[in-house]
Structure 1
Amino acid sequence: MDGQADLVQGVLAQGPHERLPGAAGRSWCCGTFLVLRDGKVTYEWYGDGFTADTRMPSWSVARSVVSLLVGQAIERGKLHESDRLVDLLPELRSKDTYDSITVRDLPDMSSGIDVDENHSPWRPFTGTARMMLTGDLRTFVKYHRP
């Protein structure tokens, strides 16, 4: 926890526009930076071209939030880890191994949905970027099976 606190303090001291140390000697930079405390924004910074209204991908943050919501639904008895995806979304039924994907498989990224984790600027409309840009996620998932 001290390392995270030190990182946040460093960002606040020098501004998030500075490149920060990352894994394996690489650095990273962010387009926006928010600090929430007790449910309230206590600090916000937006880089060039970003505002509070700019839509941005959340990547793995979304998986974490969805996992929390799924956990709450399980705790309330609304879902079970063993529930099959095709029982919740019957239109995805395929009569193959895909039909065995459970609620537990989804946040673990072991569902078998075939999406290339591609972040290449040379192939901007494939893999995760294409999934993010689709207006019809159900159809995307239906046609991206292993």
Structure 2
Amino acid sequence: MAVASNAETGAAAASVPAGEAGRPLVPVAVGVLLRADGSFLLASRPVGKPYAGYWEFPGGKIEPGETLLQALERELHEELDIHALHASFWRSCVVDYPHARVELQFCKVTHWQGQMRPCEGQDIAWQQLPVTVAPVLPGTIPVLQWLAQERSHEGPTHQGPTHLT
């Protein structure tokens, strides 16, 4: 599994290991929900989805005809029953999972409306660095590292393995 990122421009990374270029790239909108105390929301992948039980930031595939922010709004409503009031693109990375090659487009979400609740059988947890939930999906690790850089956090960002088991 490979991870490549372009944090400066937000564009998908151009340098992806050989052999992966033939796989279709699936665009995914991901919300990094942030509270004033610096905590952020992680959700476990529900039973029936690839990597059930792994923790990640909420989001999902961008459907044809949707913009990034439209997809993010739809996914946050479907998964958490909230409406994003302030969301902006932050960074992106390409992750090559065994089941799909995805471009994760991360948006910081600082304001939302609604009583947050897990709607798809997932668990949710507000976290600080280092996160205490495990295992963490590999595509989540770059975000934890970016947050650590922004916050001058030194030390580990998560527990457990950095690969899929």
| TM-score in terms of structure 2 length | 0.21
The higher radius of gyration belongs to 1
More contact order relative to length (CA 8 Å, sep ≥ 6): 2
| TM-score in terms of structure 1 length | 0.23
